[in-house]
Amino acid sequence: MVRTRFAPSPSGYLHIGGARTALFNWLFARHEGGKFILRIEDTDVARSTQASVDAILDSLRWLGLDWDEGPYYQSQRKEIYVDYANRLLSSDHAYRCFCTPEELGERRQQAQKEGKQPKYDGRCRNLKVQPSHKPFVIRFKTPLYGTTTFNDLVKGQIQYNNSELDDFIIMRSDSTVTYNLAVVVDDITMSINHIIRSDDHINNTPRQMLIYQALGENLPSFAHVPLIMGHDKSRMSKRHGATSISAYREMGYLPQAMVNYLVRLGWSFGDQEIFSCEDLIRKFTLKNVGKSAGIFNPEKLLWLNSHYIKTTPSNLLVDSLIPFLKENGHQNIDRDYLSHIIPPFQERSKTLKDMADGLYFYFQDKISYDPKGAKKFLTPRILPILDQITEQFKKPDAYNRQKIEAFFRELSSSESISLAKIAQAVRVSLTGATVSPGIFEIIETMDNDLVIQRLDEARCYIKNLSV
């Protein structure tokens, strides 16, 4: 059974790149009928926080990336790592190094002066007599000759000369283990057999492979996915816009738009752009992951988000939209009413925040008029027309879009005034603004009593102009 994992470090929010790595692992596991494991690499005590853990878990849930096992925490597994480090010592695949940081620094500087690679010189590799009371680290005994080769499922065959790899530290003098040992031990004990990660980890791979081999364990399959770059082809950072999943959630993006966009940053299926989650699970394979970096395009993400807002049934947008309305000060929102009034705004909203801002006039007790709009459209000339519209809307069967439109056209003809001027006067009366979705849609969705109340207020406003 395929077993993949996502192993974030909880030192901040879930980054766009991390989210894509999680998504690729999740999709591959789901496509293969396997398991997706979540592991929190929180051994860096200074930078790891519970707030970051919570933010990462919340973002994964929001994206719909459920995990089958975990989350496991590295901070709770220290004894396991020490045991494996001692196994490598016992099998002569590792050794104690007593060199001080000062000695190592001097040798590194000397190597640089001589134009040599500044790596550990193996001085303690074959010590016959070891100091009994001196602090030490444990180093892995890297083979001096030969090559370490693997077939990357994205990049193809990759080869390293072992002579270029130094005897790297696997356990520090305070008995904490380093990343390369911890990650291998975790992947072994969690039976991870497919490691899909970004290609900034690729140089760790030969060292990790050597640890697997020294422990007599089967090697997993590796797939290194190119990084996500900004529009200037530099590594994605804050200067390219928001970089965390939570930031896009707060801006009013939908999770399905985010998933659809992230998967296309490095993976393709012909010319298809829009994918449902079920579609992705059915079609995702590593062979369609590209070798070149994905370029983050905020405009394309915004286009995808507007597509999903347009095509998602209004009743399924309600839960996502309510927090933005509450943020705007609207409380005690009726879910059924909200679902009823959303459709006219779906075509014109790019984010949920846009939609919440556009819906303001449905939830205000009293609206204020745009000064220019009121001056142009709420005039004495329109007053008798508003009187007739108000009386029409007091009839029980008036709130039918076809009837509303027909009545407006009759008024336009009988009163010799353009339909556009009537529509704009009613729009300003109901919304306070000169721009909104179609006025007939607004009337049809707005509560009947509120329509009449707003028209009455507009009529009073006009009457007061001449006082």
Task: Measure CA 458 to chain center.
Answer: 45
Residues 140 and 156: beta-carbon distance below 8 Å: no
Catalytic residue among 78, 113, 155, 238: 238
DSSP state of 138: E
- Nearest-10 crossing angle of helices 419-431, 383-393: 70
Task: Measure CA 259 to chain center.
Answer: 7
Residues 59 and 20: beta-carbon distance below 8 Å: no
Q: Phi first, then psi: what are they for 294, rounded to 5°? A: -85, 135
Please give the Cα distance from 13 to 334 (Å, whole number): 33
Q: Is 174 helix (H, G, I), strand (E, B) or coil?
A: coil
Q: Quick one: which H or E segment has residue 70? A: strand 69-73
Q: Quick one: which H or E segment has residue 294? A: strand 294-295
C-alpha torsion 272→274→279→283, nearest 10: 30
**Type of residue numbered 3:** R
Catalytic residue check, 372: no
Strand 156-161 versus strand 137-140 pairing type: unpaired
Residues in the chain: 467
Q: Which residues are catalytic?
A: 238
